[in-house]
A and B are shown apart, each in its own frame.
Chain A
């Protein structure tokens, strides 16, 4: 406050804020505060309440809220507005928000949630139909970015580079959301994951994502001292899993419960596996919740018992029901799960040749499992009968092995 200011008095300003001054004096101060920066600052200081800010911080409204609301509005042909136009406005709004809100990582003025949420906005413009993905990333703008990180681990994956190399087919863990991204869009998505992951910083269990290259993951690991690369980890993250400190401790009841359930799943004993996993809902492990729900519904679907899958999903806690809408968990490739698959390596593709792949896809045929991996620079590796064949790109693989290509990507690229 200026020394020369006639209203230089905290007591006076406090009375002013409290509405305890006489009307004429209050009006004089109204006028004065409008023009006196020092008094405005003093008023702000009186109103400052760091304790309340700290307590309320996790509740901040998601920054992408307006954009999501506008994006979710239905098409109304009877009116002059159209969804496309609204979407264009939403995109403009989103970009505006993003430009206004994305500050450098580490900025003291940007919360994790706000940052992650604004990044999400950049994606929603071109992933509008990906409800599953949106819901997941929505967690980032919710109150617990750590938990969000453990869930966003691998749900954006590159399927295939097209011939031109300019377009990429990407999946968001949902057949309905598969669509073609331009390379530029995909670059932005990757950037989103990396930056969001950096922002989140600390992962409760693991937070690797298939959208990141090994180099990016190494960078991420170096930035998060609690994480170490765990390429041999028994977890569905394609060899890029990162765990805090060390690989899972199987003496941990939560991990042990998960492993036991998994064993039962692979033994075809789904009812028992379900009971096992349901019994561990009390576990604080987001890893367990995330993975087990997915596994059970998936397994029931695989054995042709959608009703049980549906019942199971209905029995799940609300937050996770959200992430397992029945219609969005169909697998588009032919994968048979039989008791013969009694191995926890099904998601691991333990062949080290695939460790540099940003994406892996597989199916079982009569001779065993066929796995195709795609590296970050677009090379394709085909693992068959423990033998790895490398192709320059997906086109070359397709030319040589149309049968494998059709099995892996039915309907995805057939029209192109």
Chain B
């Protein structure tokens, strides 16, 4: 307690110097934490959007379907599987989809797309695409009109289509014959990924099944939403054992890029913080060396009157740790306030909208940082404080009391 008291009071002896060091630590951490939270927020949003719009958490396919989107490579007994899956613990919702490659054409232009045949009710439980339409842009299969199609704004622009426009979809049916049908645009959506948007159109599974001549009970994809996406790998492996006739893949296998983003963000944040703390560590070492130099005589006196070298070492270490921790706590507090504010208000990057949406990132990003990160940073700063104290403390230990006392 005695050494803690002395060390704590010592850091306030030179208020200006300590304040400068603390502010340097605080501003370094604010920069590091806020940037990390920003990147983390962007990545989280990308991951969330991917789950919500593109992949869900687990998908079933016929093992050969992925190779060339062959419509004949289907999942059998889809309804039974959906029924069983919906009762499985850890699974929140399930749906099935038909999928085929097609040419979408209007009077103006044609483009290659993937037609996704959906079960609207189930689809809304698993995917959030229906939230990406506003009322001015139609609806997501609310009406029961046949041969309705929902396309993206990006595709609509390319095809010069609008609500109620007709789009002709041409594709190969189950028997290998070229077939097609005209669909009326009933909804136009817009996600944060314009590349994906241009490549997908949505129709009712029943309408597509009919044109494809796909037998009942067969589908191309089953999409599973879990209560906790972190359990995806485990549950996917369990389901693979239960359904050996399909290929069960969790989101990290379906979208390796998303898996990469989440891991990359962790690594980036670690590297980022190490660089910042490393730089701060040297600053702290420099400050503490100044302290030792200034207090040579006092340290000599302390050793002369009976303070052991171990105690001197510990006292210097406490001072360094206090200096680092006060700066860190200040930095974390400011970061927390900033992240909380922008986490709610968002950061608008409209000026970079085109570029961001091409790679699937939202224009408005919401910085976020898990509470555990603050604890990790505190521990890292604590460790930096200990490391930064070693050299100055060793310098203090090397002082010779007799010559130290004579120092002016």
Chains A and B form a bound pair: no
Interface residues of B (CB under 8 A from A): none
Which A positions have Cβ atoms within 8 angstroms of B? none
